[in-house]
Amino acid sequence: MTRYAVRHATVYEYGGDVVHSHHLLHLQPREFAFQRCLDHSLTLDPQPSFSREDEDAFGNAIARLEYDRAHERLAVTAEMQVEVFPRAAASLDAAERWDELRRRLAYHAIPISSADLEACRFRMRSSHVPLKLAFEEYAADCFTPGRPVAAACEALMRKIHREFKYVPGSTTNRTSIVDVLKSRRGVCQDFAHVMIGCVRSSGLAARYVSGYIRTVRKGGAAAIGGDASHAWVSVYCPPLGWLDFDPTNDCMIGEDHVTLAWGRDFGDVSPLRGMIVGGGRHKLQVDVRVQPLD
């Protein structure tokens, strides 16, 4: 088990008064089999006129904020302590064949298991992840007939890591992953979206996971995407369950990663998003610190 202290600070400096705003925060670590949240706090400046803790459609903890007083600056600081547990090593070849799984997840007018039904929520296109033949073709040499789905996804992860270049600032949240596939450059969010596009376009289920990565991984290697929000991919691989792949760092997810939330794509789990009235142009500063405590 590895314990972390994480600090995620976001500051908006507006060009004028924001007279009214609503914000949705995904800044509380998710509790699941491999992670436990020990402590979590939010510091807000200014204080909102209304706030509420809630849960979204994917089971992630969220906070809703409303401001009805004029302000020119908003600072949100989330501090958390989490325990991350090791994941049992499993042979990727023990997973179901990907082409058999694709046939089972395709629509049929017959009842399916609850696990398959949940997976189907992450099989369709979403706002940031279209289904395209180009993605299926890109992944075709990984998804060869009869190959176990987990082994195929590991090969796809390695292919993306090998063929795409990590270039901060080369894309924005509005950059299409079709363009990312053509340019072969981007950041962790783009690589996760491209891998999800390949998996879903091949008829399988994949979800987007947001979180953080230890800056210097165990073994001494520097992580790509450290000291910032990070993103990776979780793929439905029965009977092994959901397995997580990090194409940015070419690794399976383990104790080096802290999970915040998961959804269909970045739009479902953005750390902080909202709507504002007024404000004009604004500056955004984000500072993330991930500190192992052991």
Residues 136 and 231 in one domain: yes
Query: Residue 41 pLDDT more than 90?
Result: yes
**Helix %, strand %, coil % for the chain, to 5?**
20, 40, 35
In a domain, 259, yes or no: no
Residues 120 and 80 in one domain: no
Residues 115 and 244 in one domain: yes
Q: How many domains does the chain have?
A: 2
CA distance 173 to 43: 26
Residues 165 and 60 in one domain: no
Sign of the four-CA dihedral 104, 107, 111, 113: positive
Among 185, 161, 3, which Cα is nearest to 81's?
A: 3
Residues 119 and 228 in one domain: yes
* pLDDT (tens digit per residue) in 244-294: 999 999 999 999 999 999 999 999 999 999 999 998 888 999 999 999 997
Residues 141 and 245 in one domain: yes
In a domain, 262, yes or no: no
Whole-Å CA distances, 101 to 10, 98, 105, 136: 41, 5, 6, 16
CA distance 182 to 265: 20
CB 2 within 8 A of CB 292: yes
Q: What are phi and psi of 271, to 5 degrees?
A: -55, -40
In a domain, 103, yes or no: yes
In a domain, 225, yes or no: yes
pLDDT, position 281: 85
CA distance 62 to 209: 15
Strand partners, 4: 82, 292
Among 51, 46, 60, which Cα is nearest to 18's?
A: 46
Return the number of other C-beta atoms located less than 10 Å from residue 228's C-beta. Answer: 18
Residues 98 and 77 in one domain: no
Residues 134 and 279 in one domain: no
pLDDT, position 107: 78
Residue ranges in the chain assigned as alpha helix (H): 98-105, 114-120, 133-139, 149-163, 177-183, 188-201, 266-269
Return the number of other C-beta atoms located less than 10 Å from residue 291's C-beta. Answer: 12
In a domain, 258, yes or no: no
Model's pTM, two decimal places?
Answer: 0.94
| Tokens coding 241 | 């369950």
33-49: average pLDDT: 96
Pairing of strands 206-213, 61-67: unpaired
Number of H helices, E strands in the chain: 7, 14
* pLDDT (tens digit per residue) in 79-92: 999 999 999 888 99
Whole-Å CA distances, 123 to 25, 131, 175, 198, 265: 25, 10, 22, 11, 12
Length of the chain: 294
In a domain, 260, yes or no: no
* pLDDT (tens digit per residue) in 208-234: 999 999 876 666 565 666 667 999 999
Residue 233 CB-half CA count within 13 A: 36
CA distance 56 to 63: 10
Neighbour order of strands in the sheet with 257-263: 251-252, 242-246, 230-236, 206-213, 257-263
In a domain, 265, yes or no: no
CA distance 162 to 54: 40
Tell me the CATH number at 152: 3.10.620.30
Tell me the CATH number at 25: 2.60.40.2250
Residues 225 and 282 in one domain: no
Q: Which residues form the domain of 111?
A: 92-253
> Which letter does DSSP use for residue 148 in this model?
B
Residues 34 and 105 in one domain: no
* pLDDT (tens digit per residue) in 160-199: 999 999 999 999 888 999 999 999 999 999 999 999 999 9
120-130: average pLDDT: 96
% of the chain exceeding 70 in pLDDT: 96
Residues 103 and 67 in one domain: no
Query: Residue 57 pLDDT more than 80?
Result: yes
24-34: average pLDDT: 96
Residues 106 and 244 in one domain: yes
